[in-house]
């Protein structure tokens, strides 16, 4: 039997990444736009885990579908962990990716290379319509570059430099990014949880 799994996002890039990551599970992946769901869940949690759980539980209850929701963001040490849970809204609600990372680069003006350490974090929450929720997390360390580079990815990827790859996240081929990224780590752990839940 194939379960339908709702990916609680309007971001086509994310849906594509998750569809690839979940390709070998007996599920049909759908998303908010495909299901015509206009409901917006206010992300009022203080942590990525709280926000992910809020979204997963709300959409699962609303739609009657198994739901996969994530929250992720960038923590910059020199900025006290900002933008953190506000990463997507860091430059205002309708800002572009470029406007967000430009604001970040401006905030780090004058900060030397060795103090530009940062990490991407991601938490995936899985919820069933009857209220079962499980979470998985991933993190990825890097340095905020002095300027953007690379054509792949989205969000802050062009300014997130990974010394061990000598490249920004946006310069990595998508399959490499999916393997090492915070979202890739969280998604693989969540896929295992999903497999267990499906078998149960």
Of 71, 77, 106, 157, which is the active-site residue? 71
The CATH number for 126's domain is 3.90.950.10
pLDDT at site 185: 93
pLDDT at 1: 60
CA distance 50 to 73: 13
71 tagged catalytic: yes
Kindly state the tokens that stand for 1.
């039997």
Q: How many domains are contained in the chain?
A: 1
**pLDDT single digits (tens) 32-88:** 999 999 888 988 899 999 999 999 999 999 999 999 999 999 999 999 999 999 998
Query: Judging by DSSP bridges, how do beta strands 3-7 and 27-31 pair with one another?
Result: parallel
**In terms of residue numbers, what domain contains 37?**
3-199
4-26 residue pLDDT tens: 999 999 888 788 888 888 888 88
pLDDT tens, position by position, 128-148? 998 899 999 999 999 999 999
Half-sphere exposure of 125 (CA within 13 A, CB side): 25
Strand positions, DSSP E, 8-132:
27-31, 66-76, 117-127
Q: How many CB atoms lie within 10 A of CB 24?
A: 8
Distance from CA of residue 184 to its chain's centroid? Answer: 9
Three-class SS of residue 133? Answer: strand
Q: Which tens digit of pLDDT belongs to each residue from 143-190?
A: 999 999 999 878 999 999 999 999 999 999 988 988 899 988 999 999
């Amino acid at each position: 039997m194939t379960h339908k799994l709702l990916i609680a996002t309007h971001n086509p890039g994310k849906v594509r990444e998750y569809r690839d990551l979940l390709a070998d599970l007996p599920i049909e992946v759908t998303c908010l736009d495909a299901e015509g769901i206009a409901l917006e869940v206010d992300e009022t949690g203080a942590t990525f885990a709280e926000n992910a759980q809020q979204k997963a539980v709300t959409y699962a209850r609303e739609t009657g579908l198994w739901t996969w929701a994530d929250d992720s963001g960038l923590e910059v040490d020199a900025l006290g962990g900002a933008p953190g849970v506000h990463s997507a809204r860091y430059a205002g609600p309708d800002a572009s990716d470029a406007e967000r990372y430009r604001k970040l680069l401006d905030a780090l003006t004058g900060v030397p290379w060795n103090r530009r350490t940062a990490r991407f974090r991601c938490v995936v929450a899985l919820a069933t319509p009857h209220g079962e929720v499980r979470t998985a997390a991933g993190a990825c360390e890097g340095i905020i570059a002095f300027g953007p580079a690379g054509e792949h990815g989205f969000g802050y990827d062009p300014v997130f430099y990974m010394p061990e790859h000598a490249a920004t996240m946006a310069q990595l081929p998508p399959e490499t990014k999916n393997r090492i990224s915070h979202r890739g780590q969280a998604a693989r752990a969540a896929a295992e949880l999903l497999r267990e839940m499906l078998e149960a």
